[in-house]
Amino acid sequence: MPEKGNGNKNPYYFLARSVQLATTMVFSVVGGVWLGGILDKKFATYPWLTFVFLVLGVATAFKVIFEFTREK
């Protein structure tokens, strides 16, 4: 069992964090486009809301990367 506060001793720690980072990035962008598409159909504003939510998804992905790199 790894010591507390030193999770990088576990061989699966980096794999788990990498998978978490990748899935969060993908789902934030895809979810933003999906939600934007739904709202565009509802309000007949295509492609504006899709673009706005795409940008929000990409910003969320960069935020996740930033937090991942700042983690001890």
Show contacts of 65-70: CB within 8 Å, 24+ apart.
65/21, 65/25, 68/17, 68/21
End-to-end C-alpha distance for the chain, whole angstroms: 19
Q: Are 65 and 21 contacting, i.e. CB atoms less than 8 angstroms apart?
A: yes
pLDDT tier, 72 (very low <50, low <70, confident <90, very high otherwise): low
Per-residue pLDDT tens over the stretch 28-60: 999 999 999 999 999 999 999 999 999 999 999
Could you give the dihedral angle defined by the CA atoms of residues 30, 28, 56 and 45, in that order, rounded to the nearest 10 degrees? 30
pTM for this structure? 0.78
